[in-house]
Amino acid sequence: MSEAAVGMKCQELVEVITDYLEGAMAPADVERFDDHISLCPGCDTYLEQMRTTISALGHIPPESIDAEAEQKLLHAFRDWSYGR
């Protein structure tokens, strides 16, 4: 494991996975992330599940979600996000 990977924990990976998938992560953090993935089968599986989910949801047209359901999801996410 490289020096940059020291300290990467599963919880941290979960918190930054979106940045990783969107290419918005600093190079040193990408190295830490990749090192962790190479050593942690559970997080590697989680990363693949996220990629699969993003791929599947990318094919759902926005119109398929009714306005009420969309508002409930947005409200739930805001509550979760602010509760961290």
pLDDT band of residue 3 (cuts 50, 70, 90) is very low
Domain ranges of the chain: 3-82
6-65 pLDDT per residue, tens:
578 999 999 999 999 989 999 999 999 999 999 999 999 999 999 998 888 776 676 777
Cβ-contact 7, 36 below 8 angstroms: no
- Identify the CA nearest to 25 among candidates 79, 76, 17: 17
- What pLDDT does 82 receive? 56
- What pLDDT does 48 receive? 96
Distance, CA of 58 to CA of 60 (rounded, Å)? 6
